[in-house]
């Protein structure tokens, strides 16, 4: 489970899953999970469609595809987590004898006194997901073992997460805030939240952040912590600009809500009726897509982010969006699983913009529409899709961790990547501030009312965006660019954002009448997002103090993972492997790679950015060229041959891209 290319993977992760603010916990409206029990009595939940087989000391779960399996194994006492894992593999899959690559701790949670994640080395060409998680209760260990096709693991990530999140020792009762009266977010609690952010940033190496807290009537707090860029003492404040990435999605669906109010479209209307050119790779799926599905992550379409990141035309993002969608085939059934797809969200913005501004160029229509119909009415005067304007004056620079584990500004490759991606506006193109986003969160808290009390968007259409479309974990569901979590017994509506060097979250707690915003300027800020939400809930509901432990464990894990992967990478590339490279390669989807070799090293230049590369000798005998720029750190391309042509092969979890020498 250790991520080999953390910065890019976090971007591909999208970062958000929204929830719904309804009287009933959101997850109850998603397909019901199936309850299970291990031989020792530990309980867990299983997604529909998975098969279950109970054997002595273990339960085996299999994905519908048949090529991904999970085993929950009770091994009893063991020396430590690694010993427990070895015993578990011997009981379930004796042929799996690879030693652990890395063992990292997670905080004790859910009744478990100890949790350890065991990672194993796999070569890229194996396309294999392999890991173990060890849970200890008293002297006894229960193991979650996973082994299967990487593509299925990515596609079924929500189902795999459900098993892990729901596993608890026999008799354990979950913490719940249901029925508790929320405490006021007074000065003391806001100070405690700020202190938590400050300490967490120090542990994670995050240079700067901004956060805000609002109730239904006003912004209670909005300010910065830390600096805009390492090496410059200029502080961040509540008006500092950050890329908010996928937090744009909820604003895009809010724009759709205004159009529904105006009668220009309907949530239940086929997309092809409102925008005839819309096409997916499957005619059958195209006909099923309704307006409500555009940002639902439920259509069965997989990610296609590498095309955007490495080979996009920033001057023709609208055309590229619809061309890419027309070539994208679903990899799961409609409504079957949660699969995040940024191109669908991009299309939602362009379609909404076209309906709102039919005379405008398609690439400009969304910007005009979301500005005029969302940001200006809400008083969000700084929020923009204008990359050039956002990166002037008071703006936070992005940072990522280098191969030595140090945070670095990524103003070259990182900003080129961000510029390419943010042209796909509704998917993640907006820049904003904590003060502006507090206004947006307050509007959501007030279910469509402006600060002066006027109902600007109908409550029905604001709330419709929070209705469950697909489950994303235990008591967590995705609506339309909004995620609702009810795992603590109260609904929390939220969504995250992830671009190179920028990680953010917006949080709405309807039952408490409180919302919050967190913006960070480093990739490792990702590890602060959910703990920030947890800390807010702890302060509101007197919850167990868990958030600080989560951050501390994440900081230790991130450092260990980076250091371990760095051990296997030669910063000075293998001489023979480098000599065997062609000068240029092409791939129909990801474009060209130009190879340069000089006294400064070896570099790969993609259409949108370039990176120095090192080499890694994989266990299967292949050689990977791995990116060394912090933006793409450890992203691998495997050297090979296709007939007489030399090749470099890149992969995301569900696609393989072979670059062939020119």
Examine the pLDDT at 225 and tell me if it is beyond 70.
yes
pLDDT for the residue numbered 8: 52
pLDDT, position 159: 95
Mean pLDDT, residues 391-405 taken together: 97
**Which pLDDT value is given to residue 82?**
97
Q: List, for residues 514-523, the tens digit of each pLDDT value.
A: 999 999 999 9
| Confidence (pLDDT) at 658 | 98
Least confident range of 23-37, 343-357, 462-476? 23-37
Among the listed residues 553, 462, 557, the one whose alpha carbon sits nearest the alpha carbon of residue 508 = 462
pTM higher than 0.75: yes
Range with lowest mean pLDDT among 205-209, 313-317, 442-446: 313-317
Q: For residue 306, what are the CA distances in angstroms to 8, 74, 647? A: 9, 40, 18
CA distances from 204 to 14, 197, 360, 376, 396 (A): 20, 10, 44, 35, 17
Instruction: Using alpha carbons, select from 83, 81, 95 the residue that is nearest to residue 130.
Output: 95
H or E stretch covering 58: strand 58-62
Q: Which residues neighbour 15 within 8 Å (Cβ) at sequence distance 6 or greater?
A: 245, 246, 495, 496, 497, 498, 503, 504, 505, 526, 529
Q: What is the mean pLDDT of residues 171-176?
A: 94
The whole-number pLDDT of residue 307 equals 87
Mean pLDDT of 10-24: 36
- Decide if pLDDT at 314 tops 80: no
Task: Enumerate the H helices of 379-499 as residue ranges.
Answer: 387-390, 413-422, 425-428, 434-445, 459-464
| pLDDT at 600 (0 to 100) | 87
Other Cβ atoms less than 10 A from the Cβ of 3: the count is 17
316 has a pLDDT exceeding 90: no
CB atoms within 10 A of CB 347: 27
Q: What is the pLDDT of residue 21?
A: 28
DSSP summary character for residue 395: B
340 phi, psi to nearest 5 deg: -75, 130
CA–centroid distance for 261 within its chain? 31
Reply yes or no on whether the pLDDT at 15 is more than 60. Answer: no
Per residue in 450-493, pLDDT tens? Answer: 999 999 999 999 999 999 999 999 999 999 999 999 999 999 99
pLDDT at residue 20 tops 50: no
In this prediction, residue 517 carries a pLDDT of 98
At 243-288, the pLDDT tens digits run 999 999 999 999 999 999 999 999 999 999 999 999 999 898 999 9
The neighbouring-strand residues paired with 11 are: none
pLDDT above 70 as % of the chain? 95
pLDDT of residue 624: 98
pLDDT at 25 over 60: no
pLDDT of residue 16: 36
- Band (309; pLDDT cuts 50, 70, 90): confident
User: What's the average model confidence in pLDDT over 125-138?
Assistant: 97
Closest CA to 327 of 294, 277, 281, 283: 281
Task: Give the residue-averaged pLDDT of 15-32.
Answer: 38
Distances (CA, A) of 591 to 183, 281, 607, 637: 54, 20, 7, 14
**Structural domains of the chain ordered from first start:** 41-166 (3.40.1000.10), 187-557 (3.40.710.10), 570-661 (2.40.128)
> If we measure between CA atoms, which residue out of 643, 607, 600, 646 comes closest to residue 623?
646
State the pLDDT at residue 312: 80
How high does pLDDT run on average in the chain? 93
**Residue 50: pLDDT over 90:** yes
Written as six digits, the tokens of 403 are 């191969």
Q: Is the pLDDT of residue 196 over 70?
A: yes
Does position 28 have pLDDT exceeding 70, yes or no?
A: no
User: What dihedral angle (degrees, nearest 10) is formed by the CA atoms of 542, 548, 553, 554?
Assistant: 100
Helix (H, G, I), strand (E, B) or coil at 640: strand
559 against 420, higher pLDDT: 559
* Mean pLDDT within 12-24: 34
Amino acid 24: pLDDT: 32
Q: What is the mean pLDDT of residues 69-79?
A: 98
Phi-psi region of 343 (alpha: psi -120 to 50; beta: other; left: phi over 0): alpha
Q: How many whole angstroms separate alpha carbon 484 and alpha carbon 468? A: 8
CA distances from 138 to 72, 113, 135, 152 (A): 18, 7, 10, 34
Average pLDDT over residues 635-650: 97
Owner of token pair 């956002």 = 390
Q: Are 206 and 520 in contact (CB under 8 A)?
A: yes
Q: In DSSP terms, which residues pair with 384 in a beta bridge?
A: 431
Mean pLDDT of 618-630: 97
């Amino acid at each position: 489970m250790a991520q080999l290319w953390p910065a890019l993977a976090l971007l591909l992760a999208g970062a958000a899953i929204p929830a719904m603010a309804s009287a009933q916990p959101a997850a109850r409206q998603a397909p019901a999970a199936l309850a299970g029990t291990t031989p020792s009595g530990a309980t867990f939940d299983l997604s529909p469609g998975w098969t279950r087989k109970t054997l002595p000391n273990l339960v085996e779960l299999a994905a519908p595809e048949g090529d991904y399996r999970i085993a929950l194994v009770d091994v009893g006492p063991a020396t430590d987590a690694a010993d427990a894992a070895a015993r578990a593999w011997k009981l379930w899959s004796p042929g799996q004898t690879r030693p652990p690559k890395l063992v990292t701790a997670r905080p004790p949670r859910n009744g478990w006194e100890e949790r350890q994640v065991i990672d194993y080395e796999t070569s890229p060409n194996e396309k294999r997901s392999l890991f173990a998680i060890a849970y200890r209760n008293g002297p006894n260990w229960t193991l979650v073992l996973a082994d299967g096709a990487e593509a299925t693991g990515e596609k079924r990530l929500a189902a795999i997460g459900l098993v892990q999140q729901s596993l608890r020792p026999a008799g354990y009762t979950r913490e719940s805030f249901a029925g508790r009266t929320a405490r006021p977010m007074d000065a003391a609690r806001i100070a405690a939240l700020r202190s938590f952010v400050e300490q967490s940033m120090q542990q994670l190496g995050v240079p700067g952040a901004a956060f805000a807290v609002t109730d239904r009537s006003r912004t209670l707090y909005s300010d910065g912590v830390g600096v805009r860029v390492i090496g410059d003492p200029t502080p961040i404040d509540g008006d500092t600009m950050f890329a908010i990435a996928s937090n744009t999605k909820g604003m895009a669906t809010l724009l759709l809500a205004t159009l529904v109010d105006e009668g220009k479209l309907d949530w239940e209307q086929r997309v092809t009726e409102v925008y005839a050119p819309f096409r997916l790779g499957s005619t059958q799926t195209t006909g099923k897509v309704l307006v409500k599905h555009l940002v639902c992550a439920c259509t069965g379409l997989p990610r296609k982010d590498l095309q955007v990141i490495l080979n996009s035309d920033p001057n023709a993002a609208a055309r590229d969006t619809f061309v890419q969608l027309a070539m994208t085939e679903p990899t799961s059934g409609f409504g079957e699983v949660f699969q995040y797809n940024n191109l669908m969200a991009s299309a939602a913005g362009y379609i909404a913009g076209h309906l709102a501004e039919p005379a405008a160029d398609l690439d400009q229509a969304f910007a005009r529409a979301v500005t005029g119909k969302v940001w200006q009415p809400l008083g969000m005067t700084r929020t923009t899709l204008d990359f050039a304007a956002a990166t002037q004056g008071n703006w936070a620079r992005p940072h990522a961790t280098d191969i030595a584990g140090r945070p670095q500004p990524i103003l070259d490759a990182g900003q080129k990547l961000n510029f390419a991606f943010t042209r796909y506006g509704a998917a993640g193109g907006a820049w904003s501030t904590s003060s502006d986003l507090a206004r947006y969160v307050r509007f959501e808290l007030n279910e469509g009312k402006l600060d002066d009390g006027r109902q600007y968007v109908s409550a029905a259409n604001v709330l419709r965006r929070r209705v469950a479309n697909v489950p994303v974990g235990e008591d967590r569901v995705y609506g339309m660019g909004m995620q609702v979590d009810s795992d603590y017994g109260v609904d929390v509506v939220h969504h995250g954002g992830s671009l190179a060097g920028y990680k953010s979250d917006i949080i709405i707690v309807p039952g408490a009448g409180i919302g919050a915003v967190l913006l960070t300027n480093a990739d490792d800020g990702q590890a602060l997002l959910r703990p920030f939400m947890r800390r807010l809930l702890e302060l509101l509901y007197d919850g167990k103090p868990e958030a600080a432990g989560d951050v501390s464990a994440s900081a230790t894990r991130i450092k260990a993972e980076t250091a371990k992967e760095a051990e296997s990478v030669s910063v000075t590339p293998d001489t023979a492997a480098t000599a065997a490279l062609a000068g240029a390669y092409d791939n129909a989807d990801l474009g060209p790679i130009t190879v340069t070799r000089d006294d400064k090293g070896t570099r790969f230049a993609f259409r949108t950015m370039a990176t120095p590369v090192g080499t890694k000798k994989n266990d299967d005998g292949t050689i990977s060229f791995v990116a060394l720029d912090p933006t793409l750190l450890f992203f691998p391309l495997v050297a090979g041959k296709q007939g007489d042509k030399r090749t470099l092969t890149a992969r995301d979890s569900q696609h393989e891209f072979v670059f062939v020498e020119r």
